[in-house]
Structure 1
Amino acid sequence: MRKFIAALAAAATIAVAAGAPAAQAETRLTGSGASFPFPIYSAWFKDFSATNSDGVTVDYQSKGSGAGIQDLVNGVVDFAASDAAMTDEEMAQVQSGVVLLPMTAGEVVLAYNLPEVAELKLPRDIYPEIFAGKIETWNDPRIAEANPGVELPDTPITVVVRSDSSGTTFNFTSHLAAIDTAFAEEVGEGKTVQWPSISRVVKAPKNDGVTATVMQTPGAIGYIEYGFAKMTGTPMATVENAAGEFVAPGGEGGALALDTAEFDTNMRAFITDPQGAGAYPMATFTWMLFYKSGQDEAKVAAIKDMIEYGLTTGQESAEELGYIPMPESVIEKVRAAAEQIGASS
C-alpha cells in the first residue's frame, strides 16, 4: 500500500516511449495539471504511447489543477487537465481559444485513519463542521449518535487538506458550501480556500500527498479521489446524501450523481449536491483542456487520437482503477466537441 503512494509521488511525471528510443518518436505531447485523475491518466498514456502506430508519446506532469490551467494559459504545454472546469475569465486568457472535454469522472471521498473503526457514517450536517474545525474529537456526541454500537476513540481529529491550487478542493468545497451556509460564509469554495487557522489542520500537496498524510496520521481525515483510497486500502466514510441516505463510495452512487449533470456549451457541468435517490453526494467529471487553434497538423492529429483512445479503450479500465465509466451519451458529446480542435491555418 505504501509502495503505491511512494510510486505516485515519485512518478509525478509520466514519460513513456512506445517500446522504442525517444529519438524515434514522431510526435511528443506534453501535459500537466490535475492529480485527481493521475492513476487513470498514467495507465492511459502509458498504453497509448506503447500501442499507437504513429510513434506518439505522452508526457504528463501531475501538479494540481490550478498549475495545469496556468501552464495552458502560459502556452508551455500541449494540453492540461483540471477537476475544476475553467471559468470564463480563465478561458479568455488563452488567445488561441480553449476546448474543455470531460474525459473521466470520479468520487471525492473522506479517507480516515481510525484503526479501531471499520465503518464510519458521517451525516451531512457533521462533515462540513469537521472541515470547518468545529468538531474536535472523534467521540463527539453527534458523530457517536450516527454510529450506534461503534467505539469511537477520544482521539483529536486532524483535518488534512490540499496545500496547492486544486480541482479536488474546488469540488469538495463547492459541495460543502452548497449544504452548509456557515461553511460557505466562513471557509468558502474554490481551488484554494481559507481553511481554519488551527493546529489540527495539516496541508499536503496533491491527492497522493493527502492520502499519504492521512495514512501516516492517527485520527486524520482528508478528502481524496476514490481511486487513491481504493488502491491504498485507506478506509472511507459513508456519507449522507440529499435524500437522507448513507451512501458508500465505489458503488452505483457516483454514476447516479453524474446522471443529474447538465452541460453548458463549453461542456461544463457542476454537480454540487445531487438530489437523486442513491446518489453519492460528491462526484465530478474531470476535464482535459486543449487549444482550439494554433498547433501544427501532426500535433492535432496526435491529440485527437489520444482523445479517442480515452473515450474508448481507456474507459474499459475506469472502474478497476477507481473511476466512473463515462455514460455513452456523454462520450458522444465529448467526441463532437473534440472536432473544435483544429490545426493552425
Structure 2
Amino acid sequence: MKKIFSSIMTLTVALAMTACGGNSNDGGRKAQELSGAGATFPLPFYNVVFENFSQVNGDVVAYGGIGSGGGVRNLRDKIVDFAGSDAFLSDKEMAEMNPVIHIPTCMGAVVLAYNLDGVSELMLSGEVIADIFAGNIKMWNDERLVALNPDVTLPAEAIIPVFRSDGSGTTFVFTDYLTKVSPMWASNYGAGKSVNFPSGQAAKGNPGVAGVIKQSKNSIGYVGSEYAFAQKIPYARIQNARSEFVLPSSASISAAASGEIPADTRCSITNADAAGAYPISTFTWMIIYKEQNYSDRSKEQAMATLELLKYILSDEAQNISSEVHYAPLPAKAKELSITNLKTVTFDGVAILQ
C-alpha cells in the first residue's frame, strides 16, 4: 500500500525506463512524455499501471490528480494528452469541444466512510444518506438510523458530513446515485461534479476527504473505496435496488455493470437493479480527442497515447485493478473501447491499423 500511495496527492510520474537510460520503445520510435490530469478516484490504480506501462513501453506518464472537472478543463484547453474523469461528458459538454472518445479504464466504488467510536458496522439506505447530506438528519441517534441499525449503539452526537470542495467525478457519481433513490435530493440538489451541500465540511480530492474523516469524530463522507481501505476507515453497507445491504467488492462492483453498455461507453451504473450489486459503483474513464493532431503534438505522441490506453485495457493491467480494490472492466466494455480507439486519427488518418 505504501507503494501505491507514495505519490497520491497531486502527481503521478512513471520514470522507471527513463532512469535506466531508455530512449525508445520496442516499436523503434522515440520514447514520449505523456501528460494527463483529472480524477483522484482511480489514482491508486493509475499509480501502478502507469509505472508498469513505462517499464514495458519506455514512455513516461505524468498525471495530476486535480479532480475530474479540472482534468476536463485541461483537455478542453488542449494542454494535456488525456483527461481522467469519473463523470462522462454530457451531450452539452461534448458539443462545446472537438470530438472526443471515452475509454473506460476500470470500475470502482464510492463508499460512505465514517468515524464513530465503537461502531464497526453500519447500514444505510439511499434515502437516509440523502437526508444526512441535505441536513435533514442531524444526529447519529436519529430514529431512522437506529431503525436501520438495531444492534448498534449510535451516539447522541451531531453528524458531520464531509464532501468535496473541488469539481469532482466522485461527487457526480455520489449525487447521481442520490437523485435515483431520493426524490427530495433530485428536486433540490440534483447530480453534478459540484453541488451546493447545505452543511458540513469540504475537502479537496479523495485524499483530503479521507483525511478529514480520519481526523474528525462523528463524521461521514463519500470517497473512493481504496482511500478508506488504505487509511483503515470503516465504511457502511448500502442498501441496493434489491433491498440487499452490500459492501463494495470486485464481485459486487462487477454485478452493477451487468447491464447494457452503449457504444460510446457513456453510462451510469449507480443503483443497478441486479442481485448483489453495490449501488454506488461506477466506471472511470480517460477522455481523448478523436483527432490527435492538436497543440503541436507529434504523431509519435499520439501513438504513445493510444498505446497507453491499449495497455490499460489489457488483461495484465486489468488484473491489477482487483489488487488495489477496484474491479476489472467487463469484456463488452473492452471490446467497445478497442473499436472506438480504431476511430482515432492523426491528420485524418486512423492511427491503429
So what's the TM-score if we normalise by structure 2?
A: 0.90
Q: Structure 1 unaligned segments of length 5 or more: list them.
A: none
CA 1:4/1:304 → structure 2, altered by over 3 Å: closer, same or farther?
closer
Tell me if structure 1 keeps the 8 A contact 2:39–2:65.
yes
Task: Give me the whole-angstrom Cα distance separating, in 2, the residues matched to 1:15 and 1:243.
Answer: 42
Tell me the equivalent position of 2:150: 148
Tell me the equivalent position of 1:229: 228
Tell me the equivalent position of 1:269: 267
CA 1:256/1:140 → structure 2, altered by over 3 Å: closer, same or farther?
same
Q: Structure 2 unaligned segments of length 5 or more: list them.
A: 25-30, 349-353
Task: Give me the whole-angstrom Cα distance separating, in 2, the residues matched to 1:316 and 1:4.
Answer: 15
Listed as ranges, the matches of 1:68-147 within 5 Å are 68-95=71-98, 97-147=99-149
Tell me the equivalent position of 1:343: 346
How many residue pairs align between the two structures?
A: 336
Give the alignment's Cα RMSD to 1 decimal.
1.9
Tell me the equivalent position of 1:37: 42
1:192 to 187, 191, 194: 194
Q: CA deviation at 1:220?
A: 0.7
* 3-state secondary structure, aligned to 1:284: strand
Deviates more, 1:65-74 or 1:145-154: 145-154
Cα deviations by residue, 1:301-338 (Å, 9 ceiling, x for unpaired): 21121112111121011111010111122211111111
Task: Give me the whole-angstrom Cα distance separating, in 2, the residues matched to 1:117 and 1:194.
Answer: 29
Check if 1:8 corresponds to 2:8.
yes
Check if 1:285 corresponds to 2:289.
no
Task: Give me the whole-angstrom Cα distance separating, in 1, the residues matched to 2:109 and 2:119.
Answer: 22
Q: CA deviation at 1:174?
A: 0.9
Check if 1:67 corresponds to 2:53.
no
Task: Give me the whole-angstrom Cα distance separating, in 2, the residues matched to 1:48 and 1:158.
Answer: 41
* 3-state secondary structure, aligned to 1:101: strand
So what's the TM-score if we normalise by structure 1?
A: 0.92
Task: Give me the whole-angstrom Cα distance separating, in 2, the residues matched to 1:3 and 1:323.
Answer: 16
Listed as ranges, the matches of 1:153-172 within 5 Å are 153-172=155-174
CA 1:230/1:101 → structure 2, altered by over 3 Å: closer, same or farther?
same
Tell me if structure 2 keeps the 8 A contact 1:188–1:194.
no
Task: Give me the whole-angstrom Cα distance separating, in 2, the residues matched to 1:220 and 1:194.
Answer: 18
Cα deviations by residue, 1:128-177 (Å, 9 ceiling, x for unpaired): 11111111111111111111221111121100000011111111101101
Q: CA deviation at 1:23?
A: 9.3
Cα deviations by residue, 1:178-227 (Å, 9 ceiling, x for unpaired): 1111111222211111111x3xx100011111111111111110101111
Tell me if structure 2 keeps the 8 A contact 1:226–1:250.
no
Task: Give me the whole-angstrom Cα distance separating, in 1, the residues matched to 2:286 and 2:89.
Answer: 10
Task: Give me the whole-angstrom Cα distance separating, in 1, the residues matched to 2:106 and 2:206.
Answer: 16
Tell me the equivalent position of 2:302: 300
Percent identity of paired positions between Structure 1 and Structure 2: 37
Tell me if structure 2 keeps the 8 A contact 1:27–1:299.
yes
* 3-state secondary structure, aligned to 1:117: coil
Aligned residue identity for 1:225: G
Task: Give me the whole-angstrom Cα distance separating, in 1, the residues matched to 2:7 and 2:133.
Answer: 28
